[in-house]
A and B are shown apart, each in its own frame.
Chain A
Amino acid sequence: MSDTDTEIQDEAINVDTEKGNFKYPENYEFDAGVGLTEDSVRYISNVKGEDQWILDFRLKALEIFQKKPMPTKWADKDLENIHFDEIRYYLSKGQVPARTWDEVPDDVKETFERLGIPEQERKFLAGVEAQFDSEASYSRMKEDLEKEGVIFVGSTEGLMKYPEIFKPYFGKVIPTSDNKFSALNSATFSGGSFIYVPKGVKLKQPLQAYFRINAENFGQFERTLIIADEGAEITYMEGCTAPKFETATLHSAVVELVALKGAKIQYITVQNWSSNVFNLVTKRGMADEGAEVKWIDCNIGSRLTMKYPGVVLKGKGARGEVLSIALANDGQHQDTGAKMMHLADNTTSNIISKSISIGKGRSTYRGQVHMPKHLKNCKNNTECDALLINTNSRTDTYPAITTRGENNTVQHEASVSKVSAEQIFYMMQRGLNEGEAMSLAVNGFVNELMKAFPMEYSVELKRLIDMEMEGSVG
């Protein structure tokens, strides 16, 4: 990037900063301190002005968190490097680290540039601005939603304003005690989205976390609950292809989806964490009779990601799907997968996972398919394909499949491959250099899944893969 470009860019950002001031009160300077204690949990709840039952929920979760062991039996040893005592669990505005645009590393700036991230959003993504005003750009969308009766609020607001809607499902799909990190989130959650789509309402446009962008929304312990009432349909998107430049190293979100009879929920995630982040996320959907829950997940970056979106197929004819792309570069471990719990007849599930390991990167598929009871006509299909780019790249596959019942079929296939020399040779013969050829081959490998993403995401993803592939050959 030339100097003039940078200047232009700086200028663009400078122009926008003032506009970005947000509407939340800014004058409190609370401090939850370092480490997780009863006091800090009470503090978080107090800051948010929560009802007693929410505080009780948090305190109980804290107790469970402290009792639960780390999942060290099978998990990456790297988890031991998380020091819970040194983490700040809640940052009010005063504590958000101040950073200037000059301090943002050049490679991050360059990435923004090349991905074509809107100028207005760059500063926020780089952590220079805590938030930027998205209200204006999306206000028309909001009006439409309100007309339809859709509720789209933050976690605290949802629990306080609409307890009759959200309380019955909050913490039900993923109980606090599900695992150590779901307990951690339950004790400390802030930010995230709570969405309710009324009966029969089919949203044509995807809802995006972006609509409500602010510091909390991208917080460390976000909590999302989406309820699609009978026959409703919703697509939700979180994250973005831009690298999230972060100082906080532990991210532990909980996402619960509830699809009532005949409803459809599609949840799309694209995440590109910086390489110091532990991203430990619990995601699970519940699908009632004839309902469908679909997770589309793309994980790039982070030091260690552990994420296994699941669907509990509770009603007859329910359908669950996980489509997942993971890209592990040098020093990164993408430990991802899927869980399908079949609890009713005629339920079907599909898992397609594609992973790419570059350099010493390691990608792991960990899955569970469970048909434990006397069920009929259930089907599962699982495909895991791994692509290894360099000689020392690594991939693992650890599925666990339990089957019982009548006329159920389960199939699991996994394969490991590399980009063939012939493929590269063919492309280079036609004038591509080796890096471009490799990128093209990798894009071809994930192409089928890429189609599942909305257009603008798949364009950005393609660019992102090109960038990750740079320097991986030769």
Chain B
Amino acid sequence: MTTVLEQPTNTTNHPAWLSARRDAGKAQFEMLPAPTARDERWRFASVGKLSIDGFAPAAAPTADTLAGLVERSNLVSDRAGQLVFADDAQAQFEGVSDELAAQGVIYLPVLDAIAQHPELMEKYFLQESTELGSEKYFGLHAGLVKAGSILFVPKGVEIEKPFVNYYWTSGKMAAVFPHTLIIAEANSNASVVDIFFSETATNQALNVSVSNIHAASGAKVFRKVVQDWNEKTVSFQLDTTVAERDTLVKNVAVNIGAERARFENQTRIEGPGADVKMYSLTVAENSQEFDQRTFQTHYAGNAVSDLLYKNALLDNARTIFSGLIKVAEGAQQTDAYQTNRNLLLDPTAEANALPGLEILANDVKCSHGATTGNVDSEELFYMMQRGIAKRDAMKLMVFGFFEEVIEKVDSDELADNLRELIRNKFESKIH
């Protein structure tokens, strides 16, 4: 994908450390080979169809387009701040209140953060790469990232309302590199909503986004992700979480869009008492492929991690869930769970599950479960017996399947918006 690299990256504010990281990223992108199916980390993925050729960072959309997209960025109305990007160009920036600013809260677009808080950025920005197979694309992201949001919450500051980031794609063959960085200092409390949307249903796009959460001891972080790219998008989401002592970190993701969506999520538990939750729901239709790789590492004992990934599949869609729980030597009294549930709604859809465990300590509670099946015929029969049409009964059951995850978003408005998105997605599909 040389076309992308030939584009000049942003020229403003390039401290030496940043140039070095960008150059290292570019080198990593060029040096590493494209993934192959022989790599265990890409097992079952249709790597042959994973092409990023021809994509390039797009010119900024017109002011009208930007204004229109800001208008459409309305999933969460009660918020602490909002950033809207379209093709990595800033469309809206709604900063924090004076009150929060006075407490030392920083919420800024990436480039502004680099200019205004270089020390903070040097410490955290682009410091967490993926290890789950997409190192090459992380390199590309590091080389080209210019859009994104930085949230820094100082010690003890608790913010109820969420920060909302929209990342839109707009132009043809646009490549975007959104970046979300959340730094929660000790005993702080913050929540962030990341929303990935396409302006049109037709324009092809490439997304390589990175998100890093740093939760210092006692911090509470809640991140919600809504991914509804159009079905012409190739997407990589490379997320990491570092959880220190007594933290509570919750990730909830709703994945609906993209032609091919690769999702890598690494969680590192570094302090006892940490509690990390990862919930995800995915609706896969047509020939979509969702490729989810997760890694929960417990370096410290006495901590909890819980993962629940639910996928519903229609048509010829494919999903791959590959998760690994690793309990390091000495991390005793760990509780780690991993559950993957796949609901096959069409006989041509294919679900792959690779739930893994690597346990190097004996006093732990670890389990994983993976199930794949169809709608329960007995439950269906029961509902039909009571006069509910088969189609409606199936719909009810599918929504019931999702509700477990939707409930976890903890916001009625967002939950309703998500239900609406899912309903739109396959209202016509259930037969």
Contact = CB atoms under 8 A, between A and B. Distances in A.
A413 B369 contact: yes
- Interface size classification for chain A: 35 or more
Interface in B287-330: 329-330
A392 B354 contact: no
Interface in B332-361: 332, 342, 344, 347-361
A401 B352 contact: yes
B360 to A, nearest CB: 5
A406 B374 contact: yes
A265 to B, nearest CB: 28
A415 B367 contact: yes
Q: Mostly helix, strand, loop or mixed at chain A's interface?
A: strand
A262 to B, nearest CB: 28
Interface stretch (A300-308, A329-337, A382-390): A382-390
Contacts, number: 125
A392 B367 contact: no
A414 B351 CA distance: 19
A384 to B, nearest CB: 9
Contact of A396 (B348, B359, B362): B359
Contacts of A412: 353, 355, 368-371
A411 B369 contact: yes
Contacts of A372: 350
A276 interface: no
B348 A404 contact: yes
B341 to A, nearest CB: 10
A82 interface: no
B44 A374 contact: no
B348 A414 contact: no
Contacts of B359: 386, 388, 394-396, 416
B124 to A, nearest CB: 32
A408 B374 contact: yes
B64 interface: no
B355 A418 contact: no
A388 B373 CA distance: 32
Given A73-B40, A409-B373, A410-B373, A399 B362 contact: no
B362 A400 contact: no
A410 B348 CA distance: 16
Given A414-B369, A416-B366, A74 B40 contact: yes
B18 interface: no
B372 interface: yes
Contacts of A388: 359, 361-362, 364
B356 A396 contact: yes
Contacts of A418: 362-364
A148 to B, nearest CB: 43
Contact of A398 (B354, B362, B371, B374): B354
B348 A403 contact: no
Given A400-B354, A412-B369, A390 B348 contact: no
B287 to A, nearest CB: 14
A377 to B, nearest CB: 10
Nearest to A397: B357
B172 interface: no
B123 interface: no
11 contacts: A388-B361, A391-B332, A391-B361, A396-B358, A397-B357, A400-B353, A402-B352, A403-B350, A403-B353, A404-B349, A413-B367
Closest 10 CB pairs of A and B: A388-B362, A403-B372, A409-B373, A397-B357, A401-B353, A406-B347, A416-B366, A415-B367, A404-B350, A412-B370
Given A386-B359, A403-B351, A411-B373, 18 more contacts: A376-B347, A388-B359, A391-B332, A391-B363, A394-B360, A398-B354, A399-B354, A401-B370, A402-B351, A404-B348, A407-B374, A408-B374, A409-B374, A410-B372, A412-B368, A414-B355, A416-B357, A416-B359
